[in-house]
């Protein structure tokens, strides 16, 4: 939004109307934003919201940990402190497991960027309170959570709430251009492909002597399924989502294999370090999905799709390379001047709020989440998992009423090791 538009509002400039009453904000209203989950990503999303719309103010922060909240505040203050658009007095800094509720109450728009285990709870609350939502992927860690998000999403739709899910490839120019060409039939029908998130792995936060088990798991959340859902979900969801999106379907079955070979320490919790899944789609397309967290191995984060007439390679770096089946180049995307997809998500969100439009990513976000969970159920069990099995799974690994004195749902044995799923033994429920 341009400053001239704001100035034209005259006396109404930045009047704070209760957005939730109508879910529609006029061009001149301040949009109060609360950040729920103040890690690097939540802080980054807050920065993008502030950049997207000059009427945005950050009015509340919520995090389980005070130190993370302070880091977020200090970082935002570095960038935005002099603009007057951070309005976060001490009484609007909320910590602990119920912090999200208080922060959400104060906002027109919430940014949900905690570890994904909390997302269904936080999303339900935001929808119930009638807030517009930016939420990071994945949107749940188990089927129970996916069902909750789908149900709350139906209410969000009735309330005409904007919901953007951080599957930012949907907001990235090379993907959109490629999709357009695929839908125009330039490479025929998609029959299969391979999607990859093979890398060295991510951060580990080691146990410190003074930590309770709950604090340790919350700090080192990547390695616990009730918080993270394993890397096939937390990261590889992006690539599986692209396959679904371009094929135009969700997988019918998944079968695969996986385990942990390299990342096997006590600080590596219970998740695998590699998964390889074959997803079969209703129209017959078959996608190989591979994700790996092992240093010094071949790394690639891309999506390669095959059609009846040609192939396409896509990646987040801006690649969209389409060839016909003889290898003749059909399209080579130049991403030099493409906008930042993370910024685009927020530009679109706030423009929609201002203009009274509705963007609703909930259903795809939930179903992309379920697709990756299906892959995890397949690699953990070694069985063929159908979509119906996955969506009806009774797995419900996130405890209710979480608090610092609640026992986490997974605990180490006497040697400090956590139970790791064993194919053939692990039973999907």
Partner 1 sequence: MSCGTSEPASTPESSNRDADTEQAILEENEFDADFIPYSENIPETSEAIELVPVAGGTFTMIDEDTGKRHEVAVDSFWIGKFEVTWDQYNLFAQGDLNELRQDFYKVMYDVDIEMEADAMSSPSLTDEVLDMLREADVPADVISKPSPAYSDMTSGMGTDGFPAISMTHYAAHMFTKWLTIKTGEFYRLPTEAEWEYACRAGSNDNYSAPSDSELENQAWHRGNSNRKYQLVESKEPNTLGIYNMLGNVTEWTLDQYKEDYIGELQGAPAQNPWFKPEELYPRTVRGGSWTESAEEASCLQRRGSQPNWKMNDPQLPKSLWWHTNAPFVGFRVVKPKDQPEDLEEMEEYWIEAMQDYF
Q: Interface with partner 1 by CB under 8 A: which residues?
A: 39-41, 43-48, 75-76, 78-79, 166, 168, 196-203, 206-209, 235, 295-296, 298-302, 315-318, 321, 340-342
Closer CB to partner 1, residue 334 or residue 355?
334
* Structure tokens belonging to residue 199: 């890398």
Question: Smallest gap, in angstroms, from Cβ of residue 333 to partner 1?
Answer: 12
Shortest distance in whole angstroms from residue 420 CB to partner 1: 21
Beta partners for residue 259, in sequence order: 274
- Whose CA is closest to 197, among 236, 223, 155? 236
Residue by residue, DSSP assigns 153-175 as HHHHHHTT--EEES-GGGG-HHH
Max Cα distance, the chain (Å): 68
Q: Which is nearer to partner 1, 202 or 406 (CB)?
A: 202
Closest to 160 measured CA to CA, from 319, 310, 360: 360
Residue nearer to partner 1 on the CB measure, 39 or 153: 39
Nearest approach in angstroms of CB 5 to partner 1 is: 25
- Tell the smallest beta-carbon distance from residue 11 to partner 1 (Å): 34
Q: Quote the CA–CA distance of 99 and 118 in Å, as a whole number.
A: 12
Among 405, 373, 427, smallest CA distance to 143 is for 373
Min dist. Cβ of residue 183 to partner 1 (A): 25
Q: List residues bridging with 62 in a β-sheet.
A: 36, 94
Smallest distance, partner 1 to C-beta of residue 116, A: 15
Cβ proximity to partner 1: between 209 and 424 the closer is 209
Q: How far apart are CA 14 and CA 115, in angstroms?
A: 33
Residue closer to partner 1 by CB (options 160, 260) is: 260
CB of 196 to partner 1, least distance (A): 8
What CA–CA distance (Å, rounded) separates 399 from 362? Answer: 23
Query: Which is closer to partner 1, CB of 5 or CB of 77?
Result: 77
- Other beta carbons within 10 angstroms of residue 264's beta carbon come to 11
Q: Tell the smallest beta-carbon distance from residue 198 to partner 1 (Å).
A: 7
Q: Which is nearer to partner 1, 197 or 221 (CB)?
A: 197
Which tokens hold the place of 89? 């007095």
User: Which C-beta is closer to partner 1: that of 194 or that of 393?
Assistant: 194
What 3-state DSSP class applies to 361?
A: coil
Name the strands in the sheet holding 300-307, side by side, starting at the edge strand that comes first in the sequence. Answer: 329-332, 320-324, 310-314, 300-307, 190-199, 286-293, 274-280, 253-259, 385-386
């Amino acid at each position: 939004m341009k400053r001239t538009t704001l100035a034209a509002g005259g006396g109404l400039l930045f009047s704070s109307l209760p957005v939730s009453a109508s879910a529609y904000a006029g061009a001149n209203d301040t949009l109060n934003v609360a950040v729920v989950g103040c890690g690097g990503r939540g802080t980054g999303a807050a920065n993008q919201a502030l950049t997207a719309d000059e009427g945005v103010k950050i009015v509340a922060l919520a995090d389980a940990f005070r130190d993370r909240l302070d880091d977020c505040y200090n970082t935002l203050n570095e960038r935005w402190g002099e603009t007057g658009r951070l309005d976060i007095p001490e009484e609007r800094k909320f910590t602990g497991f119920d912090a999200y509720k208080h922060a959400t109450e104060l906002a027109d728009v919430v940014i949900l960027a905690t570890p994904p285990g909390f997302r269904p709870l936080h999303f339900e609350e935001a929808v119930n309170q009638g807030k517009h939502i930016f939420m990071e992927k994945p949107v749940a860690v188990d089927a129970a959570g996916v069902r909750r998000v789908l149900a709350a999403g139906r209410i969000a739709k009735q309330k005409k709430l904007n919901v953007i899910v951080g599957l930012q490839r949907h907001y990235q120019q090379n993907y959109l251009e490629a999709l357009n060409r695929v839908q125009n039939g330039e490479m025929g029908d998609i029959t299969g492909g391979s999607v990859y998130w093979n890398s060295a792995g991510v951060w580990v936060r080691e146990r410190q002597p003074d930590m309770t088990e709950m604090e340790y798991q919350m700090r080192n959340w990547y390695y616990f399924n009730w918080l993270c859902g394993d890397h096939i979900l937390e990261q590889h969801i992006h690539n599986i989502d692209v396959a679904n999106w371009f094929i135009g379907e969700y997988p019918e079955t998944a079968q695969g294999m996986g385990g942990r070979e390299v990342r096997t320490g006590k600080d590596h919790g219970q998740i695998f370090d590699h998964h390889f899944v074959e997803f079969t789609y209703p129209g017959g397309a078959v996608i190989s999905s591979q994700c790996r967290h092992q240093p010094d191995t071949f790394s690639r984060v891309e999506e390669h799709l095959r059609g009846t007439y040609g192939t396409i390679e896509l990646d987040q770096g801006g690649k969209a390379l389409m060839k016909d089946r003889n290898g003749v180049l059909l399209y080579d995307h130049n991403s030099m001047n493409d906008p930042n997809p993370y910024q685009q998500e927020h530009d679109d969100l706030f423009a929609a709020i201002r203009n009274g439009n509705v963007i609703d990513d909930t259903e795809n976000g939930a179903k992309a989440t379920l697709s990756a969970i299906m892959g995890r159920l397949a690699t953990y069990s070694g069985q063929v998992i159908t979509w119906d099995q996955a969506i009806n799974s009774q797995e419900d690994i996130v405890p209710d009423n979480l608090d610092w004195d609640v026992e986490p749902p997974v605990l180490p044995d006497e040697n400090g090791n956590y139970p790791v799923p064993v194919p053939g033994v692990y039973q999907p429920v």
